[in-house]
Amino acid sequence: MSIVARVHAMPPEHNAGAEHMLVSMLRPLVERGHDVQVWLSRYGKAHKEYEYHGIRVIPLESRLDFPTAVKRSHMLLAHLETVPSAASLARGYGKPLVVVCHNTHRATFRDAAAGGTALAVYNSVWMEREAELFFAEYPKSVRPESSLIVRPPVFAGEYATKPGKAITLVNCNPEKGGKVLAALARRMPDQQFLAVKGAYGEQILPDLPNVEIVEHVRGEDMREQVYARTRVLLMPSSYESWGRTGVEALASGIPVVAHPTPGLCESLGEAGIFVDREDVAGYEAVLRKLLTSAEYRLASKRAKARSVELDPAADLAAWCSAVEGLAR
């Protein structure tokens, strides 16, 4: 079966949660023997075709025959900004369209509704409920023909390591909590912090002696360059539809202190330590408690248990079956 995906960027150049979720979903399709191609819609650093985990990636300038690839495929997959244009091609060539939804923004569901979507993939129960509320306002004819929940798959063995000593934030833009990290570093001068540059957004990088700035890290390097140096992960995000970075950290038993967004509450479950992002004093108090051995051991145990609960095998089996069913 030939599966063509249209996305704006891909690893290893662009390492964001949406792209790594997509890679984790495409890998098992490759393992089942399907031909999976990802065509990029934006100009980037890659100029020639390359392979990533068995997935063929075709940069924008590498080939100019994307519509022909769609025409020859069995189905088309899209996410984020590429959904409207991909939907038009899918309709024109009579191909099933799979839309992977990464957030609950109204435009996400609107694009899926306009595209004649054969399968909508939601990354959480919360997102599915939000989609149901959106589609309740419209005729049934615009709903996706089917839907499926696939929690962003994290293969724990690829991330598990012995935790380090730092308090870490990955992606230091304001919405992810860059200002919270800076404030905590000032309040806790004897504690080491890691500020890992993210894939997008203006980065807030404190110039402080206890803060080490880490350049943008490829997904396959996160274990050694980030988690092996991290004792506690911060996720004071204003919005997270799931929170893949937190789940990656759980694989090593790294406690996650997070703002209670619906997505983070669902992903972290009882392993999450939730503090409002405006309560910097609360973050400091929780972090100081986690610095004690007894409290850390308990939090780490909960993190590892939640990681086991989030084994992606069942979700990925259902995903592969759903995709293969579209080609019949």
Q: Is the pLDDT of residue 328 over 70?
A: no
> Tokens 């089942």 belong to which residue?
32
Contact 91, 60 (CB under 8 A): no
Closest CA to 247 of 225, 230, 264, 229: 264
Assign 317 a pLDDT band (cuts: 50, 70, 90). very high
Give the pLDDT confidence of 221-277 residue by residue, as tens digits. 999 999 999 999 999 999 999 999 999 999 999 999 999 999 999 999 999 999 999
Supply 244's token pair.
């893949």
Residue 25 pLDDT greater than 90, yes or no: yes
pLDDT digits (tens, 9 = 90+) for 87-99: 999 999 999 999 9
Residues 194, 169: contact at Cβ < 8 Å?
A: yes
The sheet carrying 35-40 orders its strands as 50-52, 55-58, 35-40, 2-7, 75-79, 97-100, 119-122, 147-149
Amino acid identity for residue 184 in this structure = L
The pLDDT assigned to 10 comes to 96
- DSSP annotation of 314 reads H
Domains defined along the chain, listed by start: 2-153+312-326 (3.40.50.2000), 156-309 (3.40.50.2000)
User: What is the rounded average pLDDT for all residues in the chain?
Assistant: 96
